[in-house]
Amino acid sequence: MQEAGQKLRRARERLNLRYRDVEEASLRIAERHKNDEFIIALSRLSDIENKGTVPTIFRLYSLCTIYRLDIHEVMEWYGVDISQMPADAMSLQIERTHTVNFNTDGHGEVQLPLSLDPGLDWRRTTYLSRMIQRWGKLPLMLLNGLDLKNHRYGFIGTEDWTMYPLLQPGSFVLIDETRRKIVNTGWTNEFERPIYFLEHRNGFACGWCTLSEGRLVLQPHPASLCHPEVYGFPDEVEVIGQVTGVAMRLDQARRRRTRS
């Protein structure tokens, strides 16, 4: 906190402002907003700069206004990073459905793929993390809670109906590489049953799996009308991980009927 106060002091000195100048400027701000909370008395400014006293939100507003400082940056000096609000919100469980009203105001950065392999075939299921050629930082605050570079992602091919309707063709899936062990039991319905992302001799696949006596069976969703596939394990197929998240469209049923 004292370091933050020293930064505010240096900002004041760069503008050649005295304590009295700051107090008078804050009085004008308080008059403009008809709220005395914006006033910064001489003794309070001294405490903020020299004793590590944390200013109220009103006084912080006044200081940033007078010194021409970005309030988001000054809050970071005090250990409050506004760009982390979405990430913190994601860690809190709220039972009721609600809207999320955080602003994408350019504060905070997130790692995003900027360049994909030009040979990527969107019709086939793909291990997307291997197809990313270049990562870069973009100021998208709402995505800052996702560690995009350190997770693994897959793309369900636009012609891959294996797990339809649970996973629509054209979906992006999040893959947890720490969950590579095939589990044959332990679920009570199809939504609880683990879905695995696999690599085999002809590419990639995604679906339910059963493992028995060295044979891995890729089991499609019954509604997909696809056939099971059998692989020798581990020689013919590798389990990359378990699918733990998905981003997908909800209008594929119409396309499926048209295709049929």
* pTM assigned to the model: 0.51
Q: Please list, residue by residue across 12-50, b when 16 or more beta carbons sit within 10 angstroms of its beta carbon and e when fewer do.
A: beeeeeebeebbebbbebbeeeeeeebbbeeebbeebbe
Structure tokens given for 53: 């006293």
CA 254 distance to own-chain centroid: 30
Where residue 192 falls (left for φ over 0; alpha for ψ -120 to 50; beta otherwise) is: alpha
CA 42 to chain CA centroid, Å, is 43
8 Å CB contact between 174 and 246: yes
Residue-wise pLDDT tens digits, 111-162: 444 445 556 565 666 665 555 444 444 334 434 445 555 567 788 888 899 9
* Of the listed ranges 7-21, 67-81, 192-206, 239-253, the one predicted with least confidence: 239-253
Please report the pLDDT score of residue 125 as a whole number.
Answer: 61
Write out pLDDT tens, residues 222-254: 999 999 999 999 999 999 999 988 877 776 555
Comparing CA positions, the residue from 126, 185, 212 lying closest to residue 194 is 185
Angle at 15 between CA 12 and CA 18, to 5 degrees: 55
pLDDT, tens digit, 9 for 90 and up, residues 179-222: 999 998 999 999 999 999 999 988 889 999 999 999 999 999 99
Enumerate domains of the chain plus CATH numbers.
2-80 (1.10.260.40), 151-259 (2.10.109.10)
Q: What percent of the chain has pLDDT over 70?
A: 73
Model confidence at 88: pLDDT above 90: no
Give pLDDT, residue 59: 96
pLDDT value, residue 128: 55
Q: β-pairing, 132-138 with 110-116? A: antiparallel
Of 260 and 42, more confident: 42
Q: Would you say residue 257 has pLDDT above 60? A: no
Extract the tokens encoding 180.
Answer: 């590579």
DSSP line for 153-215: EEE--TT--TTTTTS-TT-EEEEETT--S---S--SSTTTS--EEEEETTEEEEEEEEEETTE
136 Cβ partners below 8 Å, 6+ apart?
111, 112, 114
What's the mean per-residue pLDDT of the chain? 81
Average pLDDT of span 90-95: 70
pLDDT at 167 over 80: yes
CA 212 – CA 193 distance, rounded (Å): 17
Which stretches of 84-156 are DSSP H helices?
85-90, 128-131
